[in-house]
Chains A and B, each alone.
Chain A
Amino acid sequence: MMNKLKTDFKDIDQLKNLSGQSSDFTTSQISIADQQVSISYFKTLIDENLLQSNVILPVQNRALDSELRKLEDLKAWIPIDDVEITDQVNDIQAKLLKGYVIAQLDQHDRKCALVNVASKEGLRKNNDTENEFSVVGPKVGFVEDLDTNIRLLRAQINIPNLIVKEVTMGSASKTRVAIIYIDGVTNEKIVQTAEQRLNQIDYDIIWDTSVLDQFISDNSFTPFPLFVTTERRDRVVFGLISGQVAIISDGSPYFVMAPSTLFQFFISPEDYYLSWLLGSFFRLIRIFGVVFSLFATSMYIAITTFHYEVIPRDLLEPLIYSRKNVPFPPLIEVLFLEITIEFLREAGARLPTKIGQTLGIVGGIIIGQATVQAGLTSNILVIIVAFSALASFATPIYKMSNTIRFLRFPLIVLSALWGGLGMFIGIVFLLVHITRLTSLGVPYIVPIYPLRVQDLKDSFIRPSFQFLNHRMRFLKPHSLIRYKPEPVKRKKNDFHDK
């Protein structure tokens, strides 16, 4: 059958009949004074205590001294805000599955009252960051519940300008997806584009924000992540206040920040918690790490396969000595070690933490040592591969470090084919590729191209806060200035006194 799953119902009876096939769907009659009220709900979705104490008991108490004539009375009697009276079957269906109780005066009435007694159990209580750590700074992360996440955001951005727009997506999951931005800061064109792209999506189940990320991205033929995905509150708040849009789906602890640029993937919130000198230094280290991790192994191949002339004589001797027993060409040697590292990473990610650590020791130390002793790889290569693996994990956003590790392989093959020239073919291809990318219509490598000198301040280095009072111009924010910069402090002493 080529047609799509149908989820429309003619009327409330049909809905109740289908739902009744599930064993967790209950329809029961409760007597309120002399009136019978029919209530139906999914047992598993609601909080039964809440239903008893906040719905049935108050209604029965009120019924002692007044009479229940119509549904509106019920609405007035129930001490819960979220009570709705409707006869729209689509509406009823959606709410029923979100943990609402249907109350009808007669079992076959078209009109019913919907009472929200949804259960919140089953969500994790712990909201520490799971994957993006920092040593200094808050460790608040998001959880799998949309309302909690928005509450966490509102706790830090305490102005009504924080706008949350909700859309429902996924033909089977009916997931709530929120587009969050700050009115008066974020350019509404960005919000419109984001909304438009979200509305175009037709997909059955929205598992996670990462799925949305792929649907709304400008180009799906790229290894680069086009949006920063983060579970850290400080990162989301910083993005919002700089004029980005945050998108999150219910059931996902990850926010998507759009539009993002290449540089934002190498920024850690910690850069702003440390003094600007240290912050800049660590950021430079991180960027150097990326470059190193991309090119170190392919350079090794290029040099050992084609360009022995490039190595100084003093270094040539240890290099030849360590490669003396290796029976493979450099390409096989490098692929062997790189793939070992990938195995370790992939296995480590799937295993429980404690076993993962053991595996790290077994893999890292024993395999490394044994391959060298068995003469399968050279010492120097083990060092290079280990360094470049370490460097790739220094990237704060996990998706980006995956990209970097992936990109190593084509570079390795190219440099095995054509040495240094092959490496540069790879580099030029990457450069052309990243200049052609856009993220929600904003060029990916801004502020380098198109050059925005003013925005270049907070890219390679993290300047002092007195220079950071402007928002990024490429986001075209409505208000450019974030705060009044503090004047330069100069300590008074005899030297400066006039």
Chain B
Amino acid sequence: MRNEISEEYMVSPYLIIFPLYVSIVGVGILNYQSKLIQHAGYNAWISVILTGISIHVILWMIYKILSSNRNDQEIISLNHTLFGKFLGNFVNLAVVLYFVYGAFVKFKVYIEMVQIWLFPRMNILPLTIIIALLIYYAVSGGFRSVTAIGVWTILISLPSVIPQVLLTLPFLHPLNLLPLLNHSATDILLSSKTMVFQYLGLETILLFYPFIKTPAKSQKWAHIIVIFVTFLYLVLLILAFMFLSEGQLRHCIWATLAMISIFEVPLLQSLEYFFVSLWFINIIAGISVYLWVACRGMKTAFRIGQRPSLIVFLIAAVTLNYFIKDHGRIEWISELYGTVGFYFIYAYIPFMFVCVLIRKRLAFHFEERKPA
């Protein structure tokens, strides 16, 4: 079952922050604020912190699962050893489809954003075909190329966020944050649950783990990037809280873009239009990681080449994208993805964690009973 991975295809441990960042952060960062406050109101910042902490626990579990066995280092082979061939394949198919679904949701949500902001009446099919070709080119470069797009994303998109933070400073109303605690614990937890959607993407590490040179060393970096993303979400959330009042924020779908729109440089204004285009690189990078992971899964689980599965996935994405136009349905699709992802993270991963622990214990007993 094991595929030997040549060292020249691997990446250094610190580089995993790039694929992780791009697969976690997507379009959501531009509009998560208004969804988040539905339950907890302006106390939602506590939810972000709570979700962040729980994600750290999950990440720790992921590393425990993956480092439990030296021979089978990713989740696909582990499913095989734990559940047997038939059931294992079933679970693997589900995992692969989950990632393809995730990629599609990223794709669809971004295309919808483009339609809303840039081209409300344009035929979107040629655009999606070009984007699909671009994704094919990126993914077919292998994991190193996928990581490299992540590097470019961070180099290009983060410097555009930082000046924005500074430029909103004169327009902030810190008193918006008060009172500090006026919602029940249930409300805050419900908001935390909405926040989980913004962290989906972290689980891609389950599959690209063997492509890290010394995987154990990368755990530190994975935690660092989760801390960073939590910090980013927190900063943008608190800025939005201080920038808009609670009543305004409930009606402002694209809160992050609303903050960007006040930002002006000598030759250009209304940079949100520019920003929507710039976010393209982030989305492409995220989709590439997801699809690379899905194709890799197909290869290790079913011995199907990465190229045909990638082509099939992309054609499916373009066709589905063409037929799904209704906003309500897109909302439903991404909410369903959120739910599935929620259970993937909080049910499947802990379950695997327990299984691995039990298996380890059994193996340990077996070793002990063996006559020396």
| Residues in chain A within 8 A of chain B (CB atoms) | 306-307, 309-312, 315, 417-421, 423-425, 427-429, 431-433, 435-436, 448-451
Docked-complex contact B148 and A435, CB < 8 angstroms: yes
- Closest Cβ of chain A to B330, distance in Å, is 19
- A423 near B270: Cβ-Cβ < 8 Å: no
Q: Can you name 12 A-B pairs with beta carbons within 8 Å?
A: A310-B270, A310-B271, A418-B119, A420-B118, A420-B273, A420-B274, A428-B280, A431-B148, A432-B145, A448-B151, A449-B152, A450-B15
B181 within 8 A of A: no
Smallest CB-CB A-B distances: 10 pairs: A420-B277, A435-B148, A424-B280, A309-B270, A421-B277, A436-B141, A449-B148, A424-B277, A432-B138, A431-B152
Q: Are A432 and B268 within 8 A (Cβ)? A: no
Residues of chain B touching chain A, judged by Cβ–Cβ distance below 8 Å, are 11-12, 15, 114, 118-119, 126-127, 130-131, 134, 137-138, 141, 144-145, 147-149, 151-152, 155, 264, 266-271, 273-274, 276-278, 280-281, 284
A417–B276 Cα distance when bound, in Å, is: 16
* B151 CB, nearest partner CB in chain A, Å: 5
CB distance from A384 to the nearest CB of B (A): 12
- Cβ of A435 and Cβ of B134 under 8 Å apart? no
The complex places the Cα of A310 from the Cα of B117 at a distance, in Å, of 13
Task: Give CA–CA (A428, B264) in the complex, Å.
Answer: 25
Contact yes or no, A310 B278, CB < 8 A: no
Contact partners of A311 in chain B: CB under 8 A: 267-269
Besides A315-B267, A419-B119, 12 new A-B residue pairs in contact (Cβ under 8 A), listed by A number: A310-B268, A310-B269, A310-B274, A418-B127, A419-B277, A420-B118, A424-B278, A429-B134, A432-B134, A435-B141, A435-B148, A448-B151
Residue of B nearest to A436 (CB): B141
Residues in A with CB closer than 8 Å to B127 are 418, 421
Give the CA-CA distance A432 to B133 in the complex, in Å. 12
- A261–chain B nearest beta-carbon distance, Å: 14
Q: How far is the CA of A433 from the CA of B147 in the complex (A)?
A: 13
User: By the criterion CB–CB under 8 Å, are A309 and B145 in contact?
Assistant: no
* Chain A hits for B155, CB < 8 A: 448
**A425 vs B12: C-alpha distance in the bound complex, in angstroms?**
28
Bound Cα distance from A436 to B152, whole angstroms: 13
Report whether over half of chain A's contact residues are helix, strand or loop; otherwise say mixed: helix
Q: Among the listed B118, B131, B141, B270, which residue makes an inter-chain contact with A432, where contact means beta carbons less than 8 Å apart?
A: B141
**Residue pair B137, A451 in contact (C-beta under 8 Å):** no
Q: Is the CB of A429 within 8 A of B118?
A: no
A147 to chain B, nearest CB (A): 40
In the bound complex, residues from chain B placing their C-beta under 8 Å from that of A425 are: 130-131, 134, 280
CA distance A307 to B114 in the complex (A): 13
**Residues on A with beta carbons closer than 8 Å to the beta carbon of B137:** 429, 432-433
Contacts of B273 in A (CB 8 A): 307, 309-310, 420
C-alpha gap A429/B149 in the complex (Å):
10
Asked if A424 meets B281 with Cβ closer than 8 Å, knowing A432-B134, A435-B141, A436-B141, the reply is: yes
- Taking the nearest CB of chain A, how far is it from the CB of B51, in angstroms? 30
Distance A449 CA – B154 CA, assembled complex (angstroms):
12
Q: How far is the CA of A424 from the CA of B149 in the complex (A)?
A: 13
A449 CB contacts on chain B under 8 angstroms: 147-148, 151-152
With A and B bound together, what is the CA distance between A241 and B125 in angstroms?
53
- CB pair A421–B151 under 8 Å, yes or no, is no
**Residue in B130, B273, B276 whose Cβ sees the most chain A Cβ within 10 Å:** B273
Cβ contacts under 8 Å, A429 to chain B: 134, 137
On chain A, the residues within 8 Å of B12 by CB distance are: 450
Q: In the bound complex, what is the Cα–Cα distance between A427 and B153 (angstroms)?
A: 11
Least CB distance from B128 to A in Å reads 11
What separation, in Å, do the CA atoms of A150 and B276 have in the docked complex? Answer: 55
- Nearest-neighbour CB distance to chain A for B258, whole angstroms, equals 14
Which of A307, A311, A432, A448: most chain B CB closer than 10 A? A432
Tell me, rounded to whole Å, the shortest Cβ–Cβ distance linking A15 to chain B: 49
Taking a contact as CB atoms under 8 Å apart, the answer to whether A306 and B145 are in contact is no
B149/A431 in contact, CB under 8 A: yes
User: Which residues of the partner chain B approach A451 to less than 8 Å between Cβ atoms?
Assistant: 15, 151
A421 touches B145 (CB 8 A): no
Report how far A83 CA is from B280 CA in the complex, Å: 69
Decide if A312 touches B264 in the complex (CB within 8 Å).
Answer: yes
Residues of B within 8 A of A448 (CB): 151, 155
List the A side residues contacting B141 at CB < 8 Å: 432, 435-436
Q: Quick one: which of B152, B268, B277 contacts A435, CB cutoff 8 A?
A: B152
Q: What B residues does A310 contact at CB under 8 A? A: 268-271, 273-274
One of B118, B149, B274 near A428 (C-beta < 8 A) = B149
- Pick from A312, A419, A421, A423: contact of B269, CB under 8 Å: A312
Taking the closest CB of chain B, its distance from the CB of A381, in whole angstroms, is 15
A431 to B152, CA, bound (A): 8
A428 CB contacts on chain B under 8 angstroms = 134, 138, 149, 152, 280-281, 284
Nearest chain-B residue to A307 (Cβ)?
Answer: B273
Q: Is the CB of A419 within 8 A of B280?
A: no
